[in-house]
Structure 1
Amino acid sequence: MSLQAQLDAFKADFEAGKPPYNVPYSVIETMHRATAELKASGLAERAKKVGDKAPAFTLQDPEGNTVSSAELLAKGPLVVSFYRGVWCPYCNMELQALQAALPSFQELGASLVAISPQTAPNSRKSTRQNNLTFPILSDVKGEVGASFGLKFKLPDYLVALYQGLKNDLPRFNDDPEWTLPMPARYVIAQDGTIVYAEVNPDYTRRPEPEEMLPALRQAAGKAA
């Protein structure tokens, strides 16, 4: 089953209020409203895109090891996935799909990292829960996400909804601001140029990992 098919199946059950979710329709309406407003804001269109230079970053993995985009790009192309956090089921399914595709990336000499604003303990949970072997990096206060144009502030009505659902982003992220990155996927060539970009304000939509392979082959060919 494709990644998007898995996401669609989960979404259908969630929005139907099937156990164990049992979510009232008013919650679904609020989430739809927030997604529609984020789409209408045009933020996704202003994010980094193909042809742009990718911002350099240095972040820490859950064990406190420093991971530098410059060092990874010295070895080959780089796949970067921005996700919301371990609390997001759509993100977890995406991480699992990226893990399954990792050998295909590595065959082309590429590295893969995933970035979220969550704390190191939550990143460890992401790694453990999804059986990941690639680095999960903590973007403190969402600064790297902001440099890619992905960071946005949740509207007050969505903050209230999340609080009601016990989804405490300030605790997850150790940041009093209620902010998140839009889910995004990038392929960065060794010269720092973005050769693939997929940014979607609808967090229930994620591209298939295989869609990046042509861009990775292009980037690998340039390096060769």
Structure 2
Amino acid sequence: MTLQSKLDAFKADFEAGKPPYQVPRSVIETMHRATAELIASGAATRALKAGDRAPVFSLKDPDGQLVSSSDLLAKGPLVVSFYRGVWCPYCNMELQALQAALPKFEKLGASLVAISPQTAANSRKSVRQNELGFPILSDTHNDVAAAFGLRFALPDYLVDLYKSLKNDLPAFNGDPSWTLPMPARYVIAPDGLILYAEVNPDYTRRPEPEDMLPALRRAAAVAV
């Protein structure tokens, strides 16, 4: 079963109000509105693309250890996944799919990191619940996401909805800004060139992990 088919099945059950996802139709409509507006804004078209240079970043893992993109790229290509947080079921399914594909990435000499604005404690929870073998890095204030062109501010009506659902992003992220990254996936060559980029303002749509393998093979061939 593909990642997207799993996401589609979850979305169908959630929007149909099947237990335990019984939420008012107005909640679904508000989420649809926010997604449609983000798509219409063209924000995704302004994010970094294949052929651009990736920003250099250093972020802490859940144990407080600094992880540098430069150090990782010195070892080979780098796969980077930006995601919203442990509270997002779509993100958790994506993390699980990336974990399943991790041996294929490593066989091609690649490292994998996920980047999220959530606190270290929530990242530890993500790692534990999803049984991950790769680090989740804390991007406080979504500063690295902004450097990739991914950060966006939630509209006021969506903030109000999240508050009503007890989805307290400032508490999850340790940051009062009510910003998130658009879900995105990148393959970065050792020289810092972006070989693959997938950015989608619709958080229910995610690329398959295998979609990155051709770019990783190209990077591996160049490294040889």
Q: CA deviation at 1:145?
A: 0.3
Q: CA deviation at 1:223?
A: 1.3
TM-score by length of 2: 1.00
1:178 aligns with: 178
2:114 aligns with: 114
**1:49 alignment partner, SS class:** coil
Return 5+ residue gaps in structure 1 as ranges. none
* 1:125-153 superposed Cα distances (whole Å, 9 cap, x missing partner): 00000000101100011000000000000
**1:79 alignment partner, SS class:** strand
* 1:144-192 superposed Cα distances (whole Å, 9 cap, x missing partner): 0000000000000000000000000000000111000000000000000
2:154 aligns with: 154
1:49 aligns with: 49
CA distance in 2, matches of 1:50, 1:111: 18
1:210 aligns with: 210
Q: CA deviation at 1:222?
A: 1.1
CA distance in 2, matches of 1:133, 1:50: 26
1:189 aligns with: 189
TM-score by length of 1: 1.00
2:59 aligns with: 59
Aligned letter for 1:61? D
Q: CA deviation at 1:23?
A: 0.9
Aligned letter for 2:72? L
CA distance in 2, matches of 1:91, 1:215: 23
1:126 aligns with: 126
2:85 aligns with: 85
How much is the aligned-residue C-alpha RMSD, in angstroms? 0.4
Q: CA deviation at 1:210?
A: 0.3
CA distance in 1, matches of 2:114, 2:100: 14
After the TM superposition, list the runs of 4 or more consecutive aligned residues in structure 1 that deviate by more than 3 angstroms.
none
Aligned letter for 1:47? A
Return 5+ residue gaps in structure 2 as ranges. none
Number of aligned residue pairs? 224
Identity among equivalent positions (%) equals 79
